Structure 1
Amino acid sequence: MTAFPVPTMPAPPVGVVGLGQLGGSLAAALLAAGRPVAGWDVDPAARDAATARGVQITTELSGIVVLAVPLPAMATALDELTVDPAATVTDLGSVKRPVLHALGDALGGRFVGGHPMCGTERSGHDAVDPGLFSGARWALCLEPDTELPRWLRVAEVALDVGAEVVPVTAAEHDDAVAAISHVPHLLAAALAATAGQAGPLALALSAGSFRDGTRVIRSDPAFVTAMVEGNAGATAGALARVQEQLARPWPDLVADGHAVVTRQEGRRTVRVPLDRAALLALGRAGGAVTRRLAAFVEGWVPAQS
């Protein structure tokens, strides 16, 4: 029997609002993948840099509109732009519940919250890297009113730039990143401040462990503050759990921490139907989507799941 390919709809255009490190890198990566990209930034230098990479600069956006702006600017990022009423809107913000609250009422199921787990301590259009998303996990929110076809289209954007998509809810995302992203920024700040109080000799002797432990606090302080304050409840809870760990006998703490970060974990390939509950179960199991197929997605879960 001859197999015929399943027809697919053309990929919608992508418009990126905010062309700094994340937005500019996404635009560059999509262009490298062969997808046309439009974009806008309030900074003329960022617009010029994006134009040189092949981005069409415009205030009229359609298809999939990506908000790559600081958290405080999310609610007003589209105010001066003309956006197709049928467009799907997503974002790259590091906290999801506040963004869902700011945009969800106006956009409803057209909004798909997202957060690529990548980036560096650098910022701005000078830090653009088209390889930034390769191999990264990209959390993509599936709320009760999220329209699944729109979620899948945003997932395709993430997959096109080499990321792996993790289906989550906004609440699950914020609880998880408090532990693995937001608290580490606060710990890095505390470590750096403590070393500063220890004096010039301590700073002169600092080497790899201090450099690695404080790298993320080189980020823009305004960005870090907005991130941790935007997720204050979950971050405070995760920080309390860290303090409980530090109160344990140190040999036990060291052994348990070492075991977590050195564990060997294989992967098991799975196929998941295009169903909200099944997709969220994949994310909750620690897995990710790696490929979109006709009636399902392909991905993986940890081997023991």
Structure 2
Amino acid sequence: MNVAVIGLGLIGGSLLRALAARGHHVTGYDVSEATRHAAAEAAAEPGADGLGWRVAADIPDAVADAELVVLAVPLPALPVVTADLAGFTGLITDVTSVKGPVRDLLKGRRYVGGHPMAGKESSSFLASDPDLFDGCAWVLCLEPGETELDDWLRLAALYTSIGARVVPATADEHDEAVARISHVPHLLAAALSGLIEGNPLAGALAAGSFRDGTRVAATRAELIAAMCGGNAAAVRRVLAEVLDRLEACDAELASPDPVAALTSSLRRPGELRRAWPVAGGVTVRVDREAGALLNLGRAGGWLTDAGPDLVGQRPGTDRNDS
């Protein structure tokens, strides 16, 4: 496939490398001249992934011969970038961590929203890795009555070929889910990180629980702000749930027997965390229609093969999607 990747940070650069390693003809572009230079140098290195890749001077050049354009830029940059795609009639996807606003922006275009649940604290091309998506969940948005199923399946086949687990969901379902497992956790990590400011003793004593609970706070502030601000409605709903739970903890600590009160309320969260991620699952064959695919995603399942037969995994059940 002839693919153009616009934006060559961690995700875009890793996708560029992964697709090139599998023989696709890939062209990359980034607004940063330094990033373009780094990508061009990497393509010229002996042993570069697959057939290497081309780095374009601008977006029109990058998409001139493309069948697929992948937008790998932050949400605030998308209106400017999509304006340069005015003459492009092929398939467009993205890797943005919020899907509703992008769906609305690209309404009327051949568009399938995407979001790979992969990353590192570093976000530059120099951190890119062709194996970044191996085993990761890659959401592909499927809007009943809007998304062309053939386009969706084409992307599902492309992404499963680089090792991703493709999870079908609508944009709204995606945005609610990532508010719970990514966006609010980033805000919580930032709040926890602030607790060591002005307290060197606390910083010296901090160990595993602090490290694990604050890891994503090291992400660039602009990226956290873009994903949380772009998903503000869902983030506020989920944040309200967390604040209610913290207020309940405060009440339990103020009770006559705080140990007993906390022990009781902490049991269920502990059970949930110990049961995640779900171990194992059942292989299922999935009908090639939107309803069956969305049911698979809603059950916590995913596609592992999007060839002539759609094969997936549905955790913890022997039900079939058909």
How many Å separate the matches in 2 of 1:233 and 1:79? Answer: 26
Shift of residue 83, structure 1, vs aligned partner: 5.6
Deviant stretches of 4+, over 4 Å = none
Q: Could you tell me the TM-score, scaled by structure 2's length?
A: 0.85
Q: Could you tell me the TM-score, scaled by structure 1's length?
A: 0.90
2:12 is the alignment partner of 1:36: no
Distance 1:297 1:251, change over 3 A: same
For residue 53 of structure 2, what is the aligned residue in structure 1? 55
Moved more, 233-242 or 169-178: 233-242
For residue 6 of structure 1, what is the aligned residue in structure 2? none
Distance 1:155 1:82, change over 3 A: same
Within a 5 Å distance, the mapping from 1:1-305 to structure 2 comes to 12-51=1-40, 52-53=42-43, 54-58=52-56, 59-61=61-63, 62-80=66-84, 84-85=88-89, 87-105=90-108, 107=109, 110-144=110-144, 145-196=146-197, 199-246=199-246, 247-248=248-249, 249-263=261-275, 265-294=279-308, 296-304=309-317
Moved more, 52-61 or 204-213: 52-61
Shift of residue 235, structure 1, vs aligned partner: 0.8
**Equivalent residues of 1:66, 1:92 under 8 A apart:** yes
**Equivalent residues of 2:282, 2:316 under 8 A apart:** yes
How many Å separate the matches in 1 of 2:285 and 2:163? Answer: 19
Deviations 1:165-222 (A, max 9, x none): 000000000000000000100100110112325x111011111111111110101101
The one-letter amino acid of 2:295's match is A
Q: Secondary structure at the match of 1:104?
A: coil
How many Å separate the matches in 2 of 1:265 and 1:301? Answer: 11
Aligned residue pairs total 288
How many Å separate the matches in 1 of 2:112 and 2:174? Answer: 13
**Equivalent residues of 2:157, 2:307 under 8 A apart:** no
How many Å separate the matches in 1 of 2:178 and 2:17? Answer: 26
Shift of residue 81, structure 1, vs aligned partner: 5.5
How many Å separate the matches in 2 of 1:300 and 1:70? Answer: 31
How many Å separate the matches in 2 of 1:176 and 1:81? Answer: 30
Q: Secondary structure at the match of 2:168?
A: strand
Shift of residue 289, structure 1, vs aligned partner: 0.3
Identity %: 48
**Equivalent residues of 1:96, 1:173 under 8 A apart:** yes
**Equivalent residues of 1:189, 1:214 under 8 A apart:** yes
The one-letter amino acid of 1:44's match is E
